[in-house]
């Protein structure tokens, strides 16, 4: 089977100097199919300097069968990106198209042939994300953009994957308003939950003898508390700062290490505000801003810190979305202190894989940090639970089962993308005709009388 995957990049392990949530998600879907099918990977990247190029093109032999793998990167800033994708579709002639992440799925939905089965992965609920961004920038201007993309995808997709159970039901709500909860789709499992995977550490990612950050960025006898990734619109920077200040005040060994920074075009206020608070703090020497850390140094950062932090605002995005930083902390068996709200935080609590705290409660979070760094037994128990999650619920083998099952016999959805017309006048007319056929003229006239005259 020939599969065209339209995803977002750069992919992890490409040594491109950045690893983001969209690239992690693309890699997760790719790894499950690359050795089973002929694959063309069309990667959309934000970097303006990325030109159309073949990053790799190879033929693999798997169990005596040749598999073709083609990898193309294209800048999202190119004005003719849809034209470029159409050329790749014509050249590769895929049997199936898989979109991974919202924008790549939107591109695919807009250009692929109506006969091709299409799986769309919505890596996060764009409407919840847009609401959080609107709150951050104090403007609703971008919300219609997210709505347009989501609607285009859901009108065309034969199968949809999401990152959480709450997002699954949000998506079914959207499908109902698009007229796709029809009789044709009654037994069609339209939406699947594909949680973010936690891959076992590679040989390069395992603990090293030499320190990169301990004894250099923070004292050798210090306790590293880690935040990774950008400050998104749903991060609670105020509670994060207050939590750290309270914890450092009680234990001066604590040092906060922060990777990432401003997320341009998404949230450009939270990180500068947080950093300013830290630099004006009495404990400013305990806050270390590392920027976007080189990929080869990230394993050392995880291993040399003692606690991983995740602090969210309680909002729709938090309740519906995923948290890649938590998945990465689990991968490296880094004990976690997180606020509740997201599905993965609930899993962490249920599986005793970290300390979970109320949203906005700086005192509780600071106590969680202090409790974790002072109890070796608790650290061991948490790490053991994290190892179990890697092998079970968050195993890539398990998370990708829905996609692999669909690929055994991929087809268009039973409604073939033809939604029910939900316009009121047309809907009443169709319902009236159906009622007349079922009940006869006498009952039909009685029904009309009741509707018109009560």
Structure confidence by residue, pLDDT tens digits, 51-75: 555 556 767 665 666 678 888 888 8
Residue 181: CB atoms within 10 Å: 18
Tally of residues, the chain? 454
Residue 223: CB atoms within 10 Å: 23
State residue 63's pLDDT score.
60
Express each pLDDT in 202-244 by its tens digit: 999 999 889 999 999 999 999 999 999 889 999 999 999 999 9
Encoded tokens for 18: 């950045």
Q: In the chain, what percentage of residues exceed pLDDT 90? A: 76
Question: Measuring CA to CA, which residue among 56, 107, 103 is closest to residue 86?
Answer: 107
Residue 168: C-alpha distances to residues 74, 150, 181 (Å):
30, 14, 14
Q: Based on the number of CB atoms within 10 Å of its own CB, is 175 exposed (0-12), middle (13-18) or buried (19 or more)?
A: buried
* Helices 424-439, 441-453: inter-axial angle, 10-degree rounding: 140
State residue 50's pLDDT score.
52
Residue 182: CB atoms within 10 Å: 16
Specify the long-range contacts of residues 429-434, CB closer than 8 Å, at least 24 apart.
none
Question: Measuring CA to CA, which residue among 288, 269, 271, 167 is closest to residue 223?
Answer: 288
365 near 357, Cβ under 8 Å? Answer: yes
SS3 278: helix
Three-class SS string for 321-347?
CCCHHHHHHHHCCCCEEEECCCHHHHH
Residue 415: C-alpha distances to residues 4, 157, 179, 200, 409 (Å):
23, 11, 10, 40, 17
State residue 208's pLDDT score.
86
Please list the rounded mean pLDDT of every run of 10 residues in the chain (454 residues): 93 64 94 88 74 60 70 83 93 96 97 96 97 93 95 98 98 97 97 96 91 97 96 96 98 96 82 97 97 91 98 98 97 98 98 98 98 97 97 95 96 94 70 78 77 66
Residue 326: CB atoms within 10 Å: 25
96 near 120, Cβ under 8 Å? Answer: no
* Residues whose CB falls within 8 Å of the CB of residue 135, separated by 6 or more in sequence, listed in order: 233, 315
Please state whether the predicted TM-score (pTM) of the whole model is above 0.85: yes
Domains present along the chain, CATH in parentheses:
2-197 (3.40.50.2000), 223-394 (3.40.50.2000), 424-453 (no CATH)
């Amino acid at each position: 089977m020939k599969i065209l995957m339209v995803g977002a990049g750069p992919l992890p392990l490409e040594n491109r100097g950045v690893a983001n949530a969209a690239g992690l998600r693309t890699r997760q879907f790719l790894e499950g199919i690359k050795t089973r099918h002929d694959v063309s990977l069309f990667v959309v990247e934000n970097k303006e300097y990325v030109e159309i190029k073949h990053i790799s093109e190879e033929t693999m032999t798997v169990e005596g069968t040749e598999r073709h793998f083609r990898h193309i990167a294209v800048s999202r800033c190119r004005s003719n990106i849809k034209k470029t994708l159409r050329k790749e579709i014509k050249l590769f002639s895929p049997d199936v198209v898989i979109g991974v992440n919202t924008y790549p799925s939107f591109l695919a939905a807009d250009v692929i042939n109506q006969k091709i089965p299409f799986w769309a992965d919505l890596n996060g609920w764009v409407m919840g994300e847009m609401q959080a961004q609107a709150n951050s920038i104090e403007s609703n201007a971008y919300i219609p953009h997210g709505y347009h993309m989501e609607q285009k995808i859901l009108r065309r997709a034969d199968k949809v994957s999401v990152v959480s159970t709450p997002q699954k039901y949000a998506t079914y709500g959207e499908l109902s308003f698009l007229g796709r909860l029809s009789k044709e789709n009654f037994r069609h499992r339209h939406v699947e939950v594909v949680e973010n995977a936690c891959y076992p550490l590679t040989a390069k990612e395992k603990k090293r003898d030499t320190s990169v950050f301990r004894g250099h960025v923070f004292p050798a006898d210090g306790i590293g508390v880690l935040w990774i990734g950008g400050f998104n619109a749903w991060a609670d920077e105020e509670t994060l700062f207050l939590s750290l200040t309270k914890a450092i005040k009680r234990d001066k060994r604590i040092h906060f290490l922060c990777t990432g920074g401003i997320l341009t075009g998404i949230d450009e206020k939270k990180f500068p505000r947080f950093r300013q608070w830290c630099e004006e703090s009495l404990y400013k020497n305990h806050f270390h801003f590392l920027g976007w850390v080189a990929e080869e140094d990230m394993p050392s950062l995880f291993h040399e810190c003692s606690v991983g932090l995740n602090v969210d605002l309680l909002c729709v995005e938090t309740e519906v979305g995923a948290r890649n930083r938590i998945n990465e902390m689990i991968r490296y068996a880094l004990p976690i202190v997180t606020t509740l709200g997201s599905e993965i935080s609930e899993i962490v609590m249920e599986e005793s894989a970290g300390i979970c705290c109320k949203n906005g409660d700086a005192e509780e979070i600071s106590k969680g940090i202090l409790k974790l760094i002072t109890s070796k037994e608790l650290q061991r128990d948490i790490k053991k639970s994290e190892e179990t999650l890697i092998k079970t619920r968050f195993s890539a083998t398990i998370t990708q089962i829905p996609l692999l099952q669909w690929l055994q016999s991929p087809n268009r959805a039973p409604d073939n993308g033809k939604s029910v017309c939900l316009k009121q006048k047309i809907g009443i007319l169709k319902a009236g005709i159906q009622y007349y056929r079922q009940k006869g003229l006498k009952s039909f006239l009685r029904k009309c009388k009741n509707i018109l005259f009560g």
